[in-house]
Structure 1
Amino acid sequence: MAFYSIGEVAERCGINPVTLRAWQRRYGLLKPQRSEGGHRQFDEADIQRIEEIKRWVESGVPVGKVRALLEENKLVVNDDWSSLQEEMMAVLRHVRPARLRAAIMALGREHSADALIDHIFVPVRQRLSLDQNTARTMCSMLDGVLIDYAASCLAEARKKTGKEALLIGWDCEDRTRLWLEAWRLSQQGWHIDVLAEPLDAPRPELFPGQQLFLWTGKAPSRRQQEQLAHWREQGYTVAFHGS
């Protein structure tokens, strides 16, 4: 098992080491192991948890309330997630959109958006990303149904009290994931609209007074972080969403 120092994790996740220490000491969100010399050691599970904490904080949840939300998302154990992934693969092999749609709706009634995205939809899409015609066909069908389902969830969320926001993909190509992240935000109290086409250079000045979330699909580059800081200095309400 690979372990990472707090400096390596900070660079990888785009988080200040001071913040990571506070998440551990003050809020009890992290429990890294210690080396013989007493230094913190983080594994991949710790990094996944850090990314989940980031998503909650960047969506506006106070860090003091994140722990309870993390505990709520522990709905099933890892072995059960693997079983649900296999069930999804079995449904996909029938190549019947109606059956797939029904399966996804059933999962949506039982699990949170965070859990489904992180533990089922993303892993299954990764498995289908193989360069094989059949896998590509199944992945394309899954993407179509996921976008349709996410859009319906966004519409349903607008019936409840919430704050307006716009989600923009920035220098990324995964449009399906963009819609899934919009769904994730909608479950956190946002009325989300989506720019369907990711942009190489977002222009916040076109959306004055609006809350903007930017999705990069990976850790923001230094250039992107500097650009975000510049926009904020200009008075725009802009935030990165996710990792």
Structure 2
Amino acid sequence: MAPMSLKATHPPDTPLYPIREVSRLTGVNSVTLRAWERRYGLIRPQRTPKGHRLYAQDDITRIERILQWLNRGVPVSQVADLLDQPETIETPTPDAGDWASQRLQLQAIIEALDLAKLEAFYHQSLALYPLSVAINELWQPVILTLEAKWAVQADQLVRRTLEAFLRSQVGIRLHYANQATRGPLILLNAMPDDPGPLWVLMSALMASEQGYRVQMLDHSLPLEDLPQAVARLHSSMVLLSSGQRESDSYINQALPKAAEALNVPIGVCGEVARLRENDLRDGPVHMLGDDLPQAIARLRPLLRESGVL
């Protein structure tokens, strides 16, 4: 099949961008851009004679509109019907059915210990959606649901199997991402009452996506060891995460004391940030919230204030 002419869609003098540049401009990785094109036909880039994708400004604008719909909670399967509507169209009520069914499917796969399906679901979710959407709409809600269920009736086999799966997948991603970036190093640690590293793993995934190098410790390091850890690992920040409330003495005394002893910022994210928001609001510990994409987005101004960036 002959290559498509660039003149067929855009004037000859229209600037065209390779996929790597479009990914940088929009924040959508190239795997996701290709999935939107192949699976849903949401974007239609031009091709060079050798088959390389080239995107015009119209394509970039379209990608930004896709992101707007996704961030409003519209599943990718429903975005195509909305893209060509006038920009003034009232935001429709998202059909939660698709997200709800995907969450139920993911939960069922996890509880069935079907690792082959879990791996396929994991990679598909990260391919079809920006990571922030995948975490907000799929992984974080399912982990919250499972942890609430496990609080009533523990299922150590399912928990540990999910942790092992995510530790492996996220670990691979961190290994290559850490080699590819020179961003600040975040020391990411679990809090002592968290029964496992699920929140740390999700936080690590999000931080890595935002260009940080991540040193992940999925077992709680004693607070008194943090200054040595920061010095020896050359960390720019400590980020603590937990799905639990944590003890009063830890939150009200030990954690603020540890923050005062550090020469880098210390932040808290995950469910603990929601549960303990009032306790730590005015102290030296930075409360980043339970919305993990937003929490990681708050790191940049924090690091800028501390002189790291």
TM-score greater than 0.5 by the shorter chain = yes
- Which of the pair has the greater relative contact order for Cα pairs under 8 Å at 6+ separation? 1
What are the superposed Cα offsets for residues 72-100 of structure 1, whole Å, 9 maximum, x if unpaired?
74453471321210121343354321221
The residue aligned with 1:197 is 219
C-alpha change, 1:70 and 1:197, in structure 2 (3 Å) is: farther
Structure 2 partner of 1:65? none
Instruction: State the identity as a percent.
Output: 18
Shift of 1:119: 2.8
Q: CA deviation at 1:104?
A: 0.5
Say which SS state the counterpart of residue 223 (structure 2) adopts: coil
Matched to 1:215, the amino acid is L
- Quote the offset at 1:125 in angstroms: 2.7
- Paired amino acid for 1:214: L
Q: 1:90 to 1:166 in 2, by over 3 A?
A: same
How many residues get paired?
A: 171
Q: Within 1, Cα distance between the matches of 2:144 and 2:264?
A: 33
Q: CA deviation at 1:192?
A: 0.3
C-alpha separation in 1, matches of 2:184 and 2:109: 36
Larger Rg: 2
The answer for the alignment partner of 2:253 in structure 1 is 223
Using the alignment, how far apart are the partners of 2:95 and 2:225 within structure 1?
A: 41
Aligned mates of 2:213, 2:187 — CA distance in 1? 8
1:142 aligns with 2:162: yes
TM-score (norm 1): 0.58
> How much does 1:102 deviate?
1.4
Q: Which residue among 94, 97, 100 is the counterpart of 1:82?
A: 100
Q: Which residue of 2 aligns with 1:111?
A: 129
Cα offset, 1:161, TM superposition: 4.2
Matches within 5 A, 1:1-243: 73-74=71-72, 76=74, 77=94, 79=96, 80-92=98-110, 94-128=112-146, 129-130=149-150, 131-132=152-153, 136-158=156-178, 159-173=180-194, 174-206=196-228, 207-208=230-231, 209-217=234-242, 221-224=251-254, 226-232=256-262, 236-242=263-269, 243=273
Q: Which moved more, 1:90-99 or 1:100-109?
A: 90-99
User: For 1:122-147, what per-residue CA distance to the aligned partner results, in whole angstroms no more than 9, with x for missing partners?
Assistant: 322333333557x5533333222222
The CA distance in 1 between the partners of 2:68 and 2:224, in whole Å, is 31
Tell me if structure 2 keeps the 8 A contact 1:168–1:195.
yes
Paired residues of 1:114 and 1:184 also in contact (CA < 8 A): yes
Identify unmatched segments of 5+ residues in structure 2. 1-66, 75-93, 274-309
Distance 1:139 1:151, change over 3 A: same
Whole-Å separation in 2 of the counterparts to 1:200 and 1:71: 43
Change (3 A) 1:88 1:221: same
Which amino acid is 2:188 matched to?
L
Pair 205,123 (structure 1): closer, same or farther in 2 beyond 3 Å: same
Give yes or no for contact 1:175–1:198 (8 Å, CA) kept in 2.
Answer: no
Q: Which moved more, 1:105-114 or 1:120-129?
A: 120-129
Pairwise CA distance, 1:211: 1.5
Query: Contact conserved, 1:169 with 1:197, CA < 8 A, in 2?
Result: yes
> What RMSD in Å do the two structures reach over aligned CA positions?
3.1
In 2, Cα distance between equivalents of 1:200 and 1:70: 42
Q: What corresponds to 1:53 in structure 2?
A: none
Does the 8 Å contact 1:150/1:183 carry over to 2? yes
Q: Return 5+ residue gaps in structure 1 as ranges.
A: 1-68
Distance 1:224 1:78 in 2: 45
Contact map agreement 1:147 1:180 (CA 8 A) in 2: no
Q: 1:221 aligns to what SS in structure 2? A: helix
1:229 and 1:147, CA in 2 relative to 1: closer, same or farther beyond 3 A? closer
Distance 1:100 1:162 in 2: 31
- Asked whether the 8 Å contact 1:170–1:216 carries over to 2, the reply is yes
Query: 1:227: how far off?
Result: 2.0
